[in-house]
Amino acid sequence: MDTLVGGHTRRARLEEQGFRADLQGMRALAVLGVVLYHAGVPWLPGGYVGVDVFFVISGYLITGLLYREIRSTGRVALWSFYARRIRRLLPASALVLLATLAAAKILLPPLLLVEASRDAMATAVFLPNMFFAYTGTDYLAGSAPSLFQHYWSLALEEQFYMIWPLVMMIAAGSVRGQRFRIRAVLLVLSAASLVGCVLLTSINQPWAFFGLPTRAWELGVGGLLALSYPAIRRMNPWLHRVMAWSGFALILAVMVLFTEELVFPGWAATIPCLGALAMIAGGCGEETPLGFLNNRIIQYFGSISYSLYLWHWPVLIIPGLMLDGPKGWWVSAVGVFLSIGLAHLTYKLVERKFQLANAFRRSTPRSYALGAGLTIIALLCSFGLGKLPDLHTSQPAEAPRVSALISENAAKYVPSNVSPTLLSSRDSLSAVYTNGCHADFQVTLSPACTYGAEGAEKTIVLFGDSHAAQWFSPLRKIAEDSDLRLVSLTKSSCPSVTVPVGRKASPEYPECAEWRANAIRRISDLKPDVVIMSNYSANYRTLGHAGPSGFADAWRTGLSTTLQGLPAKSSVVVLGDTPAWPSSPNICLSAHITTADACAAPVRALLDAEALSIEQEVAQAAGATSIQPSAWLCGETCPPIAGNVLVYRDENHITDAMALVLSDNLKPIIQDALRTNQAR
């Protein structure tokens, strides 16, 4: 008999049923790493790799289970397999989804409910990972974390469970050589997945992170280990001990040493996966080398790991999403203990009940009916959740007066004719985002994008990151009205200031430096009359290689370098940054339709005063003009709505509608710069 089935010891019989105490202990290690990481525990910045440990364990168990069934029956009872998955996974996940929706309805602002509704619908149909990959590619709009973001890994496993049994059955073929064929297919698929993961991480990290094709290798290597069980079991016991302890040390080291700044998954994901493989392989002998994993407390956390994973995320993040929610470390501490309590109840009253209920175990159709019913209920509740307050009960408002301070136009309520709407505010972008002229992360050479009057003799250039791109529409209007040519040179998360930077998905951003050098060469060739620079300066305190402590010196030197590289005859206008909010003020507005002024914030809290001062100082020394648009947008406070126009599309960009309102404020500045250029 194939030794993968096991011997006649109690431990072997438990393994045949898919249970190993050391794997239960590994589940505890993995889930506690994830929970403590999300709770903000400072000494566990890499706790997120617990998800990778889960993937390897799942691949090992499921492949072993399916292979044993193929060996004994010649096939996989697919309908029974999927029915077991439904009973195991759906009741608890549906409960947490519905409870999260209910809590969101009670506690969160309406605009966040709209997003929660959308995310919940994707979760209800087991596609949140694909949905988050799609939305994650858009770094333009800042957004709060999704209430259902943690479901991505569960959905990915469910997608794997849908496909892998079919692949194994096809690969198994005849009885002879089944293990070899399955192993060969799994090896090829896992290798291809790993290569895709590494390549895509540097190109499009969200898809590499969330996608099944780029994460399947983590489950695949667990499966390969399961198919190698007989050989591993026969190894010397001392080798089992070395593997188990080495794997444990590797996972622990990764949880302590990895950080959010690490490019992940990519090659980095192989390290925790190797640790998990070593721990599992080390436990394949007659005894478990890591005896502490058998501890009752650790076994308990392993038992509730699924429910704890489901509950911890919404419990931990909802307080931070509330407008006046509690803050401080104690909130996370309470959240962890509350999550454990909820997980305990869910495990006892939901997980075990549905897994062991004879009514479902004896009837596969009932299990499918259960799954369909829970999915439909989750979809209906998700669809009905997100609805913004009715604005038709409020009065319309006049457009803000041009050439006036926005603070003087501050609206005390959200008018019925607000533009853009709260729901569409994130899409209030300038044309460069839709016509391909704004360079994305991988682009190093901007296309030839020229606007304004045909045959114009004078040229102005817009140069910078997305905070420069937000000024495109008013500059285009000025160019068309004043017989000017406008050339747009903007790139996501890439300042026109010469400083080395990373980006959210990677500490390295070589495309930025190359794009900036190409842009400066193009400006030198154009010899424009005016260059308008603007950047999201506060962003580069954390993304700049100099770090927060070295930011001031790096920004000062970098701006000087850029200004020196521009044509001497060109007049330069340095537009200071616009206010940056902790979160989108439109979220607050959705909860204060009749009291919009409650969402205003002190100007000092929203500006990087040091960066603005540096820009003013360096610009003045270089003979450039420094302008502070924040003076147009704010008085002592910054209102989020002026007249009938929303000021901000997210937490740090103004809407295209507001930028156009400011055209008349910007026009005399461009005219002065043109006159200065003419006088040179």
Residue 141, pLDDT > 60, answer: no
Let me know: does 276 contact 247? Beta carbons within 8 Å: yes
Which pLDDT score is estimated for 548?
Answer: 85
Which pLDDT score is estimated for 407?
Answer: 63
Residue 163, pLDDT > 90, answer: yes
Let me know: does 395 contact 415? Beta carbons within 8 Å: yes
Q: CA-CA distance, 504 to 138, in Å (whole number)? A: 12
Let me know: does 43 contact 269? Beta carbons within 8 Å: no
Looking at beta carbons, which pairs linking 169-178 to residues 24 or more positions away fall under 8 Å?
A: 169/70, 169/75, 169/76, 172/70, 175/74, 178/67, 178/70, 178/71
Which pLDDT score is estimated for 405?
Answer: 59
Let me know: does 336 contact 31? Beta carbons within 8 Å: no
Which pLDDT score is estimated for 455?
Answer: 84
Which pLDDT score is estimated for 139?
Answer: 32
Residue 456, pLDDT > 80, answer: yes
Residue 523, pLDDT > 80, answer: yes
Residue 490, pLDDT > 80, answer: yes
Ordered by where they begin, the domains of the chain are: 21-385 (no CATH), 406-679 (3.40.50.1110)
Which pLDDT score is estimated for 507?
Answer: 72
Which pLDDT score is estimated for 143?
Answer: 58
Digit-coded pLDDT (tens) for 243-262: 999 999 999 999 999 988 78
Can you give 443-498 as a three-state secondary structure string? CCCCCCCEEECCCCCEEEEEEECHHHHCCHHHHHHHHHHCCEEEEEEEECCCCCCC
Residue 188, pLDDT > 60, answer: yes
- Confidence band for 496, pLDDT divided at 50, 70 and 90: very high
Digit-coded pLDDT (tens) for 572-603: 999 999 999 999 999 999 999 999 999 999 99
- The count of other CB atoms within 10 Å of the CB of residue 128 is 25
Digit-coded pLDDT (tens) for 301-356: 999 999 999 999 999 999 999 877 677 889 999 999 999 999 999 999 999 999 98
Q: CA-CA distance, 566 to 14, in Å (whole number)? A: 72
411 versus 1: the higher-pLDDT residue is 411
Which pLDDT score is estimated for 270?
Answer: 98
Arithmetic mean of pLDDT, 490-498? 96
**Which helix or strand (DSSP H or E) is residue 346 part of?**
helix 329-346
N residues, the chain: 680
pLDDT averaged over the chain?
90
Which pLDDT score is estimated for 202?
Answer: 81
| Residue 627: strand pairing partners | 575
Highest mean pLDDT among 23-37, 73-87, 311-325, 580-594: 23-37
Cis-peptide, bond into residue 326, ω within 30° of zero: no
